Structure 1
C-alpha cells in the first residue's frame, strides 16, 4: 500500500519543446525525464554527477527501446552547491538552447549533516533554494521568450513541520544550533515562498504565459531517504523495514511533477501548491507575502545578482 498515490492522465505531447530538469539522473527526476522523453520532448538532465547522468540516459533509452516518436536526451553539468557551476550551466544553456519551455527544479538534499556549499551557504538552503533561485533567474529571459512555459519547483509536505515563519535573519544557521530536519523544512518552505513571489513578479512585470507551480511529490522511496536514516540511527530499522513499505515508487512520486508540467487542466493556474495531482493549501507560513518578498530580496543579494539585472523580459514589448 502506498500513500498519496495519484496519476497524471494527460496525453499531451512535448514535440518541439525543451525541458530542463535538475537532478534528472535519479529518483523522481529520472522518471520525469523519461516521461518527457516519451512525449517527444528535448530533455536536458542538469546533474552534478555526469557518470550517473550518462547511466540514467542509458537506462531511459533501454526502457523506451520499443517505443516510437521519442524525443532527445541531453546532459548538462550542474552543481547547485556552487554558484559558479550554476552560472556556467545557465550560460551554456542560453547559448545552445533557443527555447526553454519547462524548467523543473527537482534536485535537492535532505537532512544532511551540517555542511556548507562552495559559497559558504548552509548546504540544504544553498542547494534546495539558493542554487535553484539563481538558476531560474538566469534562465528566465529565455523562458519568457518560450511561452507558454512552466516553472515547477519540487517542495515537500515537510514544510508544514515547522510552526514558525522562515528565519530570514539567520537563513544560514550561523547564530543558532543546527537541526538538519528544521533546516530541510525551511528549505522546502523557501521553495513555496519563491514560487509564489515569482508568480507575483511575473504578473507585476506584465509577463503572461509563464506559470509557476510548487508541489509535494508524495512520500517517495529515493536516495534522499538514506540521509534521513543516517541522521537518526536508532530509527534505522523502523525506516528500513516499516516506513519504506508505504513509500511511493519514483514513478508514482513523479506524477504530480508531470501533472504540473504538462496537464491541460492546470494550464491557466499559477503560483499554487499541489499534491496528488490536485491543488492543496500549504501552511500559513508559506502564504506569508511579507516573507516571500523578504526571501526574494535576500536571495537576490546572497547569490550576487546585479541590482540592475532584469530577468523579466517580454519579447512582445
Structure 2
C-alpha cells in the first residue's frame, strides 16, 4: 500500500527518484498541472520537452521553472516542441520534428486538454473534446512509438478524469462525433476522458510486451485554467468549491507517481487517483472488445495506418 495520499504533492511522491539520462515529454506544459509536472521531472534530473501550442507561453513557463529552482534546474534541461492538438496535420508535423531529434522517449505524459461548455469543432471537423483530448493524443502517441521503443523501457501516462462518469459512450460507439445527439459540454468532456482511459488500456495491451507501459489517472479537482471557458455560474460554483480543491502541486502528484514510482516500471493498464490504484470508474474501460473497437475507430478518424498491430 502506497504511503501517499490526496495530500501528497509532486515533489514528495518523486523524492529519491533519479531521472538523469531520461527524456520526458509533457503535453500542455506551459501552465497548471503540465507546468508543475515538467518542473518536477526536470528537478529529478530528466530532460523535458514542453509540448505546447503557444511558444511564448511555453518560454515564459520554462523561465519560471528555471528561476524558481534556485540553480537546481538548468535551461538546457527544458526545450520546446510546438504541438497543436486542434489539428491532426500539426500533430503529425510535431511528431516528425521530435523524431528528427533522434531522442529515446522514456516518459510521455499526455496532460493537455480542454473543457468547454459550447460546441466547437477542430480543424478536422471533430467535436473539440474528442478531437483534442483523445484523437490528438492518440495520433501523437502512436507516431512516437519508435521513440518510445528506443528507450528500452518507457511509460505513457494519460491524464484522464473521474468526469468519465458523465460519459454517454455506448459499447457500439455510436455518434462519437456528436452529430445526432443534442450537445452537452459536460457529457462530451466525460466521453473524451473515458476515451483517454480506454486508449491507455488498449495501448498497454498492445505494447506492454515491448516494454512500453501505459497507465491513466484522475488528478483530482483543481483550480487550473482548464475551467477558464466555463459559464459564470459554473465559475461561481468553483469559488465555493475552492476549499475542497487540490493545489496544483497536489494535483500533479498522481501524474508524477505513475510516471516515476519504481512500483510501476513494468506495470500498466491501471487507473490511479490520489496516488493510489483505484477501481476503473466505467465498465466500458474494462471491456476489451470496446477498447479495441475504439482503437480501430480512432485509426480511421486520424487516418493512422496501424502497421504494428
Q: TM-score range by the shorter chain?
A: over 0.9
Question: Partner residue of 1:16?
Answer: 21
Instruction: State the alpha-carbon separation in 2 of the partners of residues 111 and 167 from structure 1.
Output: 25
8 Å Cα contact 1:38-1:70 kept in structure 2:
no
Instruction: State the alpha-carbon separation in 2 of the partners of residues 75 and 130 from structure 1.
Output: 22
When residues 30 and 181 of structure 1 are mapped into structure 2, their CA distance, relative to the original with a 3 A threshold, is same
Instruction: Report the Cα offset of residue 102 of structure 1.
Output: 0.7
Instruction: Report the Cα offset of residue 158 of structure 1.
Output: 0.9
When residues 134 and 164 of structure 1 are mapped into structure 2, their CA distance, relative to the original with a 3 A threshold, is closer
Instruction: Report the Cα offset of residue 165 of structure 1.
Output: 3.3
Structure 2 residue matching 1:170: 3-state secondary structure: coil
Runs of 4+ in 1 over 6 A off after TM superposition: 68-71
Instruction: State the alpha-carbon separation in 2 of the partners of residues 67 and 296 from structure 1.
Output: 41
Instruction: State the alpha-carbon separation in 2 of the partners of residues 194 and 63 from structure 1.
Output: 35
Structure 2 residue matching 1:108: 3-state secondary structure: coil
Instruction: Report the Cα offset of residue 290 of structure 1.
Output: 1.8
Question: Partner residue of 1:136?
Answer: 141
When residues 184 and 71 of structure 1 are mapped into structure 2, their CA distance, relative to the original with a 3 A threshold, is same
8 Å Cα contact 1:38-1:71 kept in structure 2:
no
8 Å Cα contact 1:43-1:71 kept in structure 2:
no
Instruction: State the alpha-carbon separation in 1 of the partners of residues 249 and 187 from structure 2.
Output: 27
- Aligned counterpart for 2:251 among listed residues 233, 253, 257: 253
Question: Partner residue of 2:182?
Answer: 177
TM, length-normalised to structure 2: 0.92
8 Å Cα contact 2:84-2:91 kept in structure 1:
yes
When residues 148 and 235 of structure 1 are mapped into structure 2, their CA distance, relative to the original with a 3 A threshold, is closer
8 Å Cα contact 1:166-1:190 kept in structure 2:
no
Instruction: State the alpha-carbon separation in 2 of the partners of residues 265 and 188 from structure 1.
Output: 25
Instruction: State the alpha-carbon separation in 2 of the partners of residues 116 and 163 from structure 1.
Output: 19
Output the aligned Cα RMSD. Answer: 1.9
Structure 2 residue matching 1:60: 3-state secondary structure: helix
Instruction: State the alpha-carbon separation in 2 of the partners of residues 70 and 234 from structure 1.
Output: 41
Instruction: State the alpha-carbon separation in 2 of the partners of residues 89 and 162 from structure 1.
Output: 30
Instruction: Report the Cα offset of residue 247 of structure 1.
Output: 1.2
When residues 163 and 72 of structure 1 are mapped into structure 2, their CA distance, relative to the original with a 3 A threshold, is same
Instruction: Report the Cα offset of residue 65 of structure 1.
Output: 2.5
Instruction: State the alpha-carbon separation in 2 of the partners of residues 274 and 165 from structure 1.
Output: 23
When residues 175 and 73 of structure 1 are mapped into structure 2, their CA distance, relative to the original with a 3 A threshold, is same
Instruction: Report the Cα offset of residue 108 of structure 1.
Output: 0.1
Q: Any residues of structure 2 matched to 1:109-128 within 5 Å, and which? A: 109-128=114-133
- Which segment drifts farther, 144-153 or 9-18? 9-18
Q: Does 1:100 align with 2:105?
A: yes
Structure 2 residue matching 1:227: 3-state secondary structure: coil
**Which structure 2 residue ranges, 5 or more long, are not aligned?**
none
**Which structure 1 residue ranges, 5 or more long, are not aligned?**
313-317
Instruction: Report the Cα offset of residue 59 of structure 1.
Output: 0.5
When residues 235 and 72 of structure 1 are mapped into structure 2, their CA distance, relative to the original with a 3 A threshold, is closer
Structure 1 residue matching 2:229: 3-state secondary structure: helix
